[in-house]
Chain A
Amino acid sequence: MLLSLEGLSLRYGKHLALDNVSIRVDRGETVVILGANGAGKSSLLKAIAGLVRPDAGLSLQLGSRPIAGLAAHKVLEAGIALVPEGRGVFADLTVEENLRLGAYAQRARAGEARQRDFIFDLFPKLAERRAQQVGTMSGGEQQMVAIGRALMSNPDLLMLDEPSLGLAPVVVGELFQALGRVRDAGVSVLLVEQNVSLSLALASRGYLMEVGRLVGEGSAADLKADPAVQRAFLGLTH
């Protein structure tokens, strides 16, 4: 098992955003977390990444290493990279600088050149635009920068928070194709999405969340056929 998370609860003031959530991701696996707006999907990824402080009593392990309570920069160093909702790119800096910062972690330094080649191969547009300021690029291109930056850290687990948000359908299709290649390269992926059909095509397994709780779990095929998933999403997105 690569990531194991048990008993995660998180509060924003009095509001309980996550209620005793437990998930796991196996090595090489792509897992999707489905849920409507406000289900707590983003909070889950932020808690794993160390950006928010969850309640005590949580067990969080990457491989055999406990990583609960680590600061965000240490979680990254341990091997988990997050592409946050809204992309979080350094808009004032160039593509090149964003990627270079992606390899800031010690774990990334040795394989930096190889990882950069992989990313330029994955997103040839980034190679062409390497001197461009990221803030001046389109949403889809910025998402490529965000994913490329996360991959530069040579992560064991890549977490993506709604990468399709606000992008045109054709761009989303290209993006998921690229994510398929990332998966095939052996990177484990934990994905939060509202685009159910595309993400279930990418993932092998998934969880279903509703208002801070896990309400379902299964293989991608099972979830596709699950009436609860159908009701909650497919009817809305088609």
Chain B
Amino acid sequence: MTLMTALIAGLVLGGTYALAAMGLTLQYGIARIMNLAYGDMIITAAFAAFVLQGAAGINPILGLLIAVPGGFLLGYAVYTVILAPLVARAPNRGVLEVDSILTTFGLLFVVQGILLVLFGSNYTSYTFLNEPVNVLGATIAANRLIALILALGLGITLYLLLTRTRWGTALRAVAVSPQSAQLVGIDINRAAAFAFALGGGLAASAGVVISMYQTFTATGGVVFTMKALIVVIMGGVGNLVGALAAGLILGLVETLVSTYADPGLTLAATYAIFLAVLLWRPQGLFGRAVR
């Protein structure tokens, strides 16, 4: 594998991580819910893309148009039915954090159980545009290239929405200071439900993108939760640009390590840079030391 091929493969992986992490950072930064079932929402969308492609003949790019709104609605339903009561009864942020971690930990097994019943525990994949294309002298599968374009496109769109529109600014305001957000007339409970739903939509988009070029399994959600969590913490909680940058870094490092060192060391490399970031900048690459 040439260096250029490795770099592009790293960007593809990193773009996927960034996409996944942006949803988690919205859910944790704005809705204040640490969602341990996040990766399972990703896997659910991957299986949805698989079913759409296999049974209905809908290619995954069109599948996004179904999966993303589906993820949004599912996220909204999970928030209003399961999480909103926890928010209402929690006397402070610490209690909510513990309650939501325990609840979403339970949800993880519910989702995983349903997927196991429906699809079994085998690795699943489907073929979509698995043809070589030439990019800057490197050969790469077309599905990976599309995955990268989708991840970057969705990420940049989301970033522009959050920074250039009033409601996007309002969502960021809730992340910075919920109390002050109320004082300018923002309904923070509605903002939280919306942010959680938006996170669900992003998880779904990440799931579909991943399914284009990777194999996946019903029990694989936890790996994505871990990776997304690492990227969120590296980038700074609630920081979209941070998630984007940290996701790309992580993808590049993992790919370079597995290409030039040993594939068995990728996980070790992940945790090594995670540790380095935590030691060097505990608030994250783009986080602020004091809020």
Contacts and interface: CB of A to CB of B under 8 A. Distances in A.
A9 B64 CA distance: 54
Contact of A73 (B172, B177, B182): B182
B249 to A, nearest CB: 22
A73 B173 contact: no
A92 interface: yes
Contacts of A149: 184
Contact of A93 (B166, B169, B185, B291): B169
A71 B189 CA distance: 11
Contacts of A77: 185
Nearest to B163: A97
Interface string A141-185: 000000001100100000000000000000000000000000000
A76 interface: yes
B170 interface: yes
A104 B172 contact: no
B177 A88 contact: yes
A51 interface: yes
A104 B180 contact: no
Contacts of A92: 172, 176, 288
A36 interface: no
B131 interface: no
Interface residues of A, number: 29
A228 interface: no
Nearest to A99: B184
Contacts of A51: 179, 182-183
Contacts of B291: 91
B183 A72 contact: yes
A206 interface: no
A14 to B, nearest CB: 15
Given A92-B288, A97-B169, A135-B288, A104 B176 contact: no
Contacts of B87: none
B20 interface: no
Interface string B72-113: 000000000000000000000000000000000000000000
B158 interface: no
Contacts of B173: 90, 93, 97, 101
Contacts of B169: 93, 97, 100-101
B187 A90 contact: no
Given A92-B172, A101-B173, A81 B166 contact: no
Interface in A31-80: 49-51, 71-73, 76-77
B290 to A, nearest CB: 9
A105 interface: yes
Given A51-B179, A84-B179, A90-B176, A76 B184 contact: yes
Contact of B179 (A88, A100, A150): A88
A71 B172 CA distance: 20
A89 interface: yes
Interface string A190-213: 000000000000000000000000
A82 interface: yes
Interface in B170-218: 170, 172-173, 176-177, 179-188
A140 interface: no
Contacts of B172: 90, 92-93
B176 A93 contact: yes
Interface in A92-128: 92-93, 97, 100-102, 104-106, 108
A73 B291 CA distance: 22
Contacts of A82: 183
A170 to B, nearest CB: 27
Nearest to A80: B183
17 contacts: A51-B179, A51-B183, A72-B183, A84-B179, A88-B177, A89-B180, A90-B173, A90-B176, A93-B169, A93-B172, A93-B176, A100-B166, A104-B170, A104-B184, A106-B185, A135-B288, A149-B184
Given A101-B184, A104-B170, 13 more contacts: A71-B182, A72-B183, A76-B182, A76-B183, A76-B184, A77-B185, A84-B180, A84-B183, A91-B291, A93-B176, A100-B169, A135-B288, A149-B184
Interface of B: 166, 169-170, 172-173, 176-177, 179-188, 288, 291
